[in-house]
Each structure stands twice: as C-alpha cells, then as structure tokens.
Amino acid sequence: MIKDTGRKLASAVYDESANLPANIDEAIRRRAYELYEEQGRKDGHDLNDWLRAEAEILQRNSRTIAA
C-alpha cells in the first residue's frame, strides 16, 4: 500500500494554470494508464507506472510554478 504522504506534496505544488484536472490523483491515474497502454497492456507494472506518472506530473507542475 502506498502511503498518503505524497498527496500533501502534490497539493502543495498544484497550480491551476498547469492544465491539470482539479484532482491531481486523476491526472496521475490517467498518465499511469497511458503508460500501461504504451507497454502493450502488460500486467504487473502498476506500481511502477503509478510512481512514474506521479513523478512526471509533479515535475511538470513544479516547472510551471517556477516559471
């Protein structure tokens, strides 16, 4: 189980101008699913897909805030 600590960080860097859905979890969920599809819908990589998606979304969002 993934701890809930990431949600506080995600909320802290969320910027409405970043063109993300209002719910950052939904943005991460969508990107994780894209990664799943890009890998040919192979099971067993859900945690890695989620963590990669989370990192991408948070990094993209933090760059928007810094700009």
What number is the average pLDDT over the span 10-26? 59
Unique residue bearing structure tokens 């969002």 = 61
Contacts of 16 (CB under 8 A, 6+ apart): 22
State yes or no: pLDDT of 18 exceeds 60. no
> How does residue 21 score in pLDDT terms, banded at 50, 70 and 90?
low
Q: What is the pLDDT of residues 25-46, one digit of tens each?
A: 999 999 999 999 999 999 999 9
Q: Taking the model in full, what pTM does it have?
A: 0.62
Unique residue bearing structure tokens 């809930």 = 4
Q: What are phi and psi of 61, to 5 degrees?
A: -70, -40
**Cα gap 51→13, rounded to integer Å:** 17
Q: What is the DSSP string of 4-25?
A: THHHHHHHHH--GGG---SSHH
